[in-house]
Structure 1
Amino acid sequence: MLIPLANDPRDYAWGSTSLIAELEGREPSGRPEAEVWFGDHPGDPAVTPDGRTLDSWIAAEGKDAGIPAPLPYLLKLLAAASALSIQAHPSKAQAEAGFAREEAAGIPRDAADRTYRDDNHKPELIVALSDEFRALAGLRELDATRRLVAELGEGAAPLAERLNGEDAALSAVIGWLLSDGADAARDVIAAAVAGDSDEFSAELDLVRTLDADFPGDPGIVVALLMNLVTLRRGEGLFVPAGVLHAYLEGLGVELMAASDNVLRGGLTPKHVDAAELVSVLDPAPALPPVIRPRDVGDGVRAYDVPIADFALYAVTPGVTPATVPLDGPAIALATSGAPVVAGTASQDEAVLVPGAAVLVTPDEGAVRASGSGEVFIAQPGR
């Protein structure tokens, strides 16, 4: 069975006014369009053709169709024109403990200062649809960060001092910046805005942009500690638990575990709990977690991620159809052309346009894509 899904874009302030409209081939609405959700998450469930939300449809029809409730993943289109908040997500164990703690404290789940809104982790994968997708991901190798900070001169001296020593703890530096280091952060930002560097020119340009959008925000200095990443179309960025990240600009397909647990580290007017962020943070410097797809069949590429919550495939059918076996309920989302998606058991099919999606029930056994264009298929991982 194939169930068409639709949803309206969410109008977060950082959203693009054009990227989703261009993908869908329509006139822009004039408002920021940040995300379109294709899933059953109660925060904004997709809508089925009979007018029911997907969570309601699954509650009524899902058992007979072999669909668990809720789905273990959430698929989105994401379009950023400016930076999202710097953030990290907890592990499953951290989420369970934090959720139980806040439930016991009686903090309403929709409270502005609530951190754990559910008991799940939120690993996520974004794949670039635009020619370039810019992001911050993970903490830069420490020697490189020391070189960057040294180029900022006396204005960054307090930060440089905290980064000295073989045992310099980046988590402690981040905690200081977000709690007691606001004055020092403004000095570092001023030095970076006025600074010049051959090696780190892109990072300093980013500081200027962020300071225009978030004047004096300590998170701008947190951004200076992070890897600046530019994805090319089709490349992915996987963010596991504890890894700091922030999307900056571009259009992408995002797939994540179904959770709303976000610990923020700046670039936002929302609640920042520095101590809790530091408690879940992975402070180890590492290369950006870029994922390039792996060919797994004719016209089928897989994005390998080390979790069981979700799997993502990019499908570009050729002369012969491309087939993806199912490991559970899948959502197919078209991103170009006019792909024809079919279930191999029922032979039911749907012609998709860019931005259109269908739920494919697991009893279909596999999804077959033909025609032209590209379709992304999300389903549970193995």
Structure 2
Amino acid sequence: MLAPLVNEPRDYAWGSTTLIAELEGRAPTGRPEAEVWYGDHPGDPAVVPDGRSLGEWLSSDAAGTGAPQRLPYLLKVLAAASPLSIQAHPSKRQAEQGFAREEDAGLPRDAAERTYRDDNHKPELIVAVSDTFTALAGLRDLETTKRLVASLGPAAEPLLGHLSGMDASTGLSTSAPDALRGTIAWLLSGTAQHDVDAIVAAAADADATEFRAELDLVRHLNDVYPGDPGVVVALLMNLVVLQRGEAVFVPAGVLHAYVAGLGVELMAASDNVLRGGLTPKHIDVAELLDVLDPTPGPPPVLRPTEAGGVERFAGPGISDFALLHARVSADASAEIALDGVAIAIVTSGQLEVVGVSSGEHATLIPGVGVLVTPDEGSLRATGEGDLFLAVPGR
């Protein structure tokens, strides 16, 4: 079976006023349009043609097709005009424990101070659809970060001291992850504001050729979130500029923040977020530090595998989801085998898709998706356009 899907864009303040409208070929509304959700997550489920939510459709019409009553993933189109909050997501175990703890405490699920809105983890990946997509992802190699911080001069010496990670009881340097965790704890503690302001002021005047892009971003972040400690946390993170078709994968505990651009995002079906700056919203510092993976390293760029003209983006060890991408043209149609329930969208052009088992047809244009039940086996696409398919992982 094929079930067409639509949804309205979510109007988060960081959303672009133009990118989703341009993608869908319509006039902008004048309001920020940040995300379009194609899934059954109760926070904003997609809608089938008769007006029911996708969740309602799955629990009734999809019976006997092999489709689950709840999808394991959530597919989104994301359009950022200004930076999202710095954030990390919990592991499955952390999410289950945190959700149970807040439920037992009687904290309303829509409360501003609520952290765990469900009991699921939220690994995620995003593929750039715009020409470039800018993000912060993961903590940079510590020695490189120290070199960046040192370029800011005397005002950054307190930050450099925390990054050096001396253990007061032994006088010895701590590990790089411990030094980074301790530095983030200090920056978000509320006691470091004077140093935060001094570091940001120093970054505004700095001229370090090696780190020009990072310093330009810090200035931009401070324009959007003046005085926010997250501006300095961003100094510790990898700056990633994806080209169209490139991706990053963010596993549990990894700090990240999307900055600007249009992308297709796929994640486990969860809305659990631990914030770490660049936001007026609640920040639970202790819980963030508990879920944080402070291991430094290179940007978590995700390389796809390719078979038969279809790219497959999949996070290591993630069974919830994978994202398939195919470029379909008049002389290069696609037939894609499906292993489980799928959601298909396009980001350019127009495609006719056919469920190979049932013969059911659907027309895909940007802004319209389709759910494909497992009994179809495969999906055939003709026309011209960029096709993305969310599927279960392996």
CA contact (8 A) 2:87 2:276 kept: yes
- TM-fit CA distance, 1:338: 1.1
Aligned counterpart, 1:173: 183
- TM-fit CA distance, 1:325: 1.4
Aligned counterpart, 1:300: 310
The yes-or-no answer on 1:30 pairing with 2:40 is no
- TM-fit CA distance, 1:276: 0.7
- What CA RMSD, in Å, does the superposition of the two structures yield over aligned residues? 1.1
Distance 2:255 2:274 in 1: 9
Aligned counterpart, 1:44: 44
Q: Say which of 342, 345, 355 aligns to 2:354.
A: 342
SS at match of 2:215: helix
- TM-fit CA distance, 1:63: 2.6
Distance 1:358 1:86 in 2: 32
Distance 2:206 2:97 in 1: 43
User: TM-score if structure 2 supplies the norm length?
Assistant: 0.95
After TM superposition, the structure 1 = structure 2 runs for residues 63-74 of structure 1, keeping only pairs within 5 Å, are: 63-74=63-74
CA contact (8 A) 2:314 2:393 kept: no
Distance 2:239 2:128 in 1: 15
Aligned counterpart, 1:214: 225
After TM superposition, the structure 1 = structure 2 runs for residues 50-89 of structure 1, keeping only pairs within 5 Å, are: 50-89=50-89
Distance 1:80 1:317 in 2: 27
Distance 1:200 1:55 in 2: 47
- TM-fit CA distance, 1:320: 4.3
The yes-or-no answer on 1:144 pairing with 2:144 is yes
Distance 1:292 1:339 in 2: 26
Distance 1:65 1:95 in 2: 30
- TM-fit CA distance, 1:356: 1.7
Distance 1:89 1:350 in 2: 35
Distance 1:292 1:355 in 2: 26
- TM-fit CA distance, 1:337: 1.1
Residue identity matched to 2:388: F
Aligned counterpart, 2:18: 18
Aligned counterpart, 1:373: 385
Question: 1:42-81: per-residue Cα shift (whole Å, max 9, x none)?
Answer: 0000010001011111122233332212100000000000
CA contact (8 A) 1:234 1:292 kept: no
Aligned counterpart, 2:168: none
User: TM-score if structure 1 supplies the norm length?
Assistant: 0.98
Distance 1:294 1:83 in 2: 30
Structure 1 gaps of 5+ residues are: none
Name the % identity.
66
Residue identity matched to 2:181: S
Question: What is the aligned residue count?
Answer: 381
After TM superposition, the structure 1 = structure 2 runs for residues 1-382 of structure 1, keeping only pairs within 5 Å, are: 1-164=1-164, 166-167=173-174, 168=176, 169-179=179-189, 180-297=191-308, 299-306=309-316, 307-318=318-329, 319-382=331-394
CA contact (8 A) 1:14 1:83 kept: yes
Distance 1:109 1:351 in 2: 37
CA contact (8 A) 2:134 2:261 kept: yes
**Larger displacement relative to structure 2 (279-288 or 100-109):** 100-109
**Larger displacement relative to structure 2 (222-231 or 204-213):** 204-213
SS at match of 2:210: coil
Distance 2:111 2:192 in 1: 26
Question: 1:268-310: per-residue Cα shift (whole Å, max 9, x none)?
Answer: 111101111011111110111111322211x311113220000
Structure 2 gaps of 5+ residues are: 166-172
CA contact (8 A) 1:140 1:227 kept: yes
CA contact (8 A) 1:300 1:323 kept: no
CA contact (8 A) 2:10 2:36 kept: yes
Distance 1:277 1:186 in 2: 23
SS at match of 1:145: helix
Distance 2:210 2:332 in 1: 47
Residue identity matched to 1:69: Q
